[in-house]
Amino acid sequence: MEDKQRELGGEEKEEEHAKVKIWKYVFGFVEIAVVKCAIELGIADAIESHGSPMTLLELSSALRCDPSPLYRIMRVLVHLKIFKEKPATQLGPKVYAQTPLSKRLLKSGQNSMAAFILLESSPVMLASWHGLSARIQGNIRNPVFEEVHGEDLWSFGAANPDHTKLFNEAMACDARVVVPAVIESCIEVFKGLDTIVDVGAGTGTALCLLVEACPWIRGINFDLPHVVSVAQEYDSIENVGGDMC
Ligand SMILES: C[S@@+](CC[C@H](N)C(=O)[O-])C[C@H]1O[C@@H](n2cnc3c(N)ncnc32)[C@H](O)[C@@H]1O
């Protein structure tokens, strides 16, 4: 009898939890929409170049936008703990300050993930996710990206330089985070190697970081011709365009 009551209590709790949690899915897109908006407005960049936390009016003036809608966006960003809100002085207005998370929304720099967020939240990339159930039901046979855009990701990139630019920048964000960690923990692996060929290397960020840390290595940066044509030039790296398939 006691067990039955405890079980019902648990079910009721689950029901209550579900009533609240379902709203997370109704408006689940809001978080990414607001973060994308923060990157596009350059909120983190404005605070960074100001050099200290900013009031709403300072921020709206720097971003040249209306303080009222900006305030609403800042409320969400503070709620998400992306920016911090703190009192400037005891009587002064509140100010918005950076956090380690907001610094990842900077448009450039070592830890920037802005391009990756803009890529994955772009209409081009999101369009594929809308076809997920059709792919699982077998109504779509090709990869969803191909079905939606009429060509695969790489051919689409060749015909859309803006998309390729964003894609390459997104990959570089990842390389700037991952490669230093690999070098730091596995430097032994690279000792004794003369040449490394990075196949599908993008614009060469990973190889640049690698040859900088291991100057005895010569790099070959291999990728599709339209990608290699905008790759970084680096003394000990040869950029080679081609098709690995
Ligand atoms: C996921 S990205 C990886 C980028 C890179 N490794 C980095 O970390 O920045 C895959 C790369 O493979 C390249 N790629 C795709 N198909 C290719 C092919 N057939 N031949 C050569 N490169 C190709 C793309 O252009 C893209 O740069």
CA distances to 1, 7, 21, 26 from 13, rounded to whole Å, are 18, 10, 12, 20
Distance, in Å, from the CA atom of 81 to the CA atom of 226, rounded to the nearest integer, reads 39
Exposed, middle or buried: residue 170 (CB in 10 Å: 0-12, 13-18, 19+)?
Answer: buried
Regarding the beta carbon of 221 and ligand 1, being less than 6 Å apart is answered no
Give the pLDDT of residue 5. 56
| 95 close to 78: Cβ distance less than 8 angstroms | no
Q: How far is the CA of 37 from the centre of ligand 1 (A)?
A: 28
Regarding the beta carbon of 204 and ligand 1, being less than 6 Å apart is answered no
| Amino acid letter for position 233 | E
CA distances to 6, 21, 184 from 15, rounded to whole Å, are 14, 10, 48
* Residue of 224, 228, 230 with the most ligand 1 atoms within 8 Å of its CB, for mutation: 224
Give the pLDDT of residue 66. 97
Distance, in Å, from the CA atom of 109 to the CA atom of 89, rounded to the nearest integer, reads 31
pTM exceeds 0.95 = no
pLDDT, one tens digit per residue, over 118-132 is 999 999 999 999 999
The yes/no answer on whether domain 29-103 falls in CATH 1.10.3720.10 is no
- Nearest residue (CA) to ligand 1, atom 6: 201
Ligand 1 atom having least distance to the Cα of 175? 8
Give the pLDDT of residue 4. 59
CA angle 188, 180, 80 (to 5 degrees): 145
Give the pLDDT of residue 1. 52
Regarding the beta carbon of 70 and ligand 1, being less than 6 Å apart is answered no
Boundaries of every domain in the chain: 29-103, 176-241
- Fold: same for 29-103 and 176-241: no
Give the pLDDT of residue 10. 85
Regarding the beta carbon of 243 and ligand 1, being less than 6 Å apart is answered yes
**Residues of the chain falling short of pLDDT 70:** 1-8
The fold for domain 176-241 equals: Rossmann fold (3.40.50)
Regarding the beta carbon of 200 and ligand 1, being less than 6 Å apart is answered yes
